[in-house]
Amino acid sequence: MKLLKSVTRCAAVAVAMLGVALHADARPLAAIQKAGKIVIATEGQYAPFNFFQGSKLAGFEVDVAEAMAAKMGLKVEWKALSFDALLTGLKQDRWDMVIASHGITEERSKAVTFTEPHYCSGGVIVAKDAAIRTAKDLAGKVVSVQTGTTYLENVKKVGAVKEVKNFPQDTDARAALASGRVDAWVTDRFVAMNSLKADPAAGLKMGDFLFIERIASAVAKGNTSLASELNKALAAIQADGTYATISKKYFNEDVRCK
């Protein structure tokens, strides 16, 4: 009986340790290659980078990630989640990679490992009033942004802003401006251009950059085997014209970092 108990206890400890081991290490490249499939998470509410076309994910980042995976000989299993869940899920090993227009920041770099950037852009000021164009025009104004973004961080740095309103989705931050609940919306330059074109009747005008940033995919902190293979794949699609074709399709220009 005593022996049985201690055997059971040993087994329990072993299982627990295995659990910890599995949890602490993100799937390294070899495991992903063995499965033949990489699990990638994105948001799906951020056109033209990641969005739903009916029930299917589409967008620049979806195409770029698919092309990178193809270079690596892998299939993609997509997951779509709210923006604020994406980087956290890497830590919990729920997916291998996130591609959702994350700007490379010092803070985020403490929690995840970024790949090389897949595009360069920045946050712009969008307003109905053509007089609201620059950071100093935001003085005394109410500004909408998506929660957890670099837009929030950077608008907060503009001291004289009256109020920053947070929305779980960037599309809601846009809607707040369109319906006149806020004076300005800060979002990505290409998202703004896309939205102005899609709905000219909303009367939104694009102002200046508030800041610029380098946008990259992320993998679990320290998963360097995967990050370096993704970097190789990105370099390869940038060299062979695939990236340029995808970029042209969505932006009519090449958005890679120069």
Distance CA 148, CA 88 (A): 12
Is there binding between residue 48 and ligand ARG (CB under 6 A)? Answer: no
Q: Is 217 in the site for ligand ARG (CB under 6 A)?
A: no
The residue count for binding ligand ARG (CB under 6 A) is: 14
Q: Which of 48, 59, 103, 207 binds ligand ARG (CB under 6 A)?
A: 103
Binding characters for ligand ARG, 155-194, by CB under 6 A (x = yes): ---------------x-----------------x------
The reply to whether 146 sits near ligand ARG by the rule CB under 6 A is yes
247 binds ligand ARG (CB under 6 A): no
How many CB atoms are located within 10 Å of the residue 97 CB? 27
Binds ligand ARG (CB under 6 A): choice among 27, 46, 63, 155: 46
Q: 171: number of CA atoms within 13 Å, CB side?
A: 14
- For residue 208, give the amino acid letter: D
* DSSP H or E segment with residue 216: strand 205-220
Two structure tokens written together for 2: 């005593």
Helix axes of 60-71 and 224-239: crossing angle, nearest 10 degrees? 100
Segment interacting with ligand ARG (CB under 6 A) among 95-103, 192-200, 202-210, 236-244: 95-103
Does residue 117 belong to the site contacting ligand ARG (CB under 6 A)?
A: no
The nearer residue to ligand ARG, 63 or 188, going by C-beta atoms, is 188
Site for ligand ARG contains 195 (CB under 6 A): no
Q: How far is CA 237 from the centre of its chain?
A: 20
- For ligand ARG, give the closer residue by CB, 29 or 143: 143
Least distance to ligand ARG from the beta carbon of 216, Å?
Answer: 9
Q: Which residue has the tokens 């950071």?
A: 135
d(CA 176, CA 254): 31
| End-to-end Cα, the chain, rounded Å | 70
* Of the residues 113, 115, 150, 247, which one makes contact with ligand ARG according to CB under 6 A: 150
Q: Is 66 in the site for ligand ARG (CB under 6 A)?
A: no
Which one among 100, 143, 176, 192 touches ligand ARG, defined by CB under 6 A? 100
Sequence-distant (6+) residues with CB within 8 A of 178 are: 199, 202, 204
Q: What is the maximal distance between C-alpha atoms in the chain?
A: 82
Least separation in angstroms between CB 225 and ligand ARG = 25
Alpha carbons 254 and 258: distance in angstroms, whole number: 10
Residues forming contacts to ligand ARG in the complex (CB under 6 A) are: 43, 46, 50, 83, 100-103, 146, 149-150, 170, 188, 215
